[in-house]
């Protein structure tokens, strides 16, 4: 579910998240976007109604496919999406 201010038309829905955070109804909310480092940091959502998340934060980082295996082996990242191919 998204509020009207971010979903009232196709452009806002498809591109609005690029410059500002979209409100979240989940256990985490986006708190920091670093375009130069290609990271998004998420922290617990204080308005979440369910059990409190066990993690203090989650940082998503864009890592190119060829570098993912080595970054995982070096413990620079904790998760790799191996895809379906």
Q: Nearest 5 degrees, angle CA 62-CA 57-CA 74?
A: 50
Q: Specify the DSSP class assigned to residue 71.
A: H
Output the pLDDT for position 39: 93
pLDDT in tens, 38-80: 999 999 999 899 999 999 999 999 999 889 999 999 999 999 8
Question: What pLDDT does 1 receive?
Answer: 63
Question: pLDDT at position 12, please?
Answer: 75
- List the one residue out of 68, 45, 47, 74 whose CA is nearest residue 57: 45
Which pLDDT score, from 0 to 100, does residue 15 have? Answer: 76
Could you read off the pLDDT of 11-44 as tens digits, one per residue?
877 776 666 777 778 899 999 989 899 999 999 9
Q: What are the chain's domains?
A: 4-74 (3.40.190.10)
Length in residues, the chain: 85
Alpha carbon 75 to chain centroid distance?
20
């Amino acid at each position: 579910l998204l509020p009207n201010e971010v979903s009232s038309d196709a452009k806002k829905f498809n591109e609005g998240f690029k410059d500002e955070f979209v409100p979240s109804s989940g256990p985490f909310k986006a708190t920091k976007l670093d375009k130069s480092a290609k990271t998004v940091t998420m922290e617990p959502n204080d308005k979440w109604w369910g059990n409190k998340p066990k993690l203090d934060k989650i940082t998503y980082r864009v890592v190119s496919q060829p570098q993912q295996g080595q970054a995982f082996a070096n413990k620079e990242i904790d998760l790799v999406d191996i895809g379906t191919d």
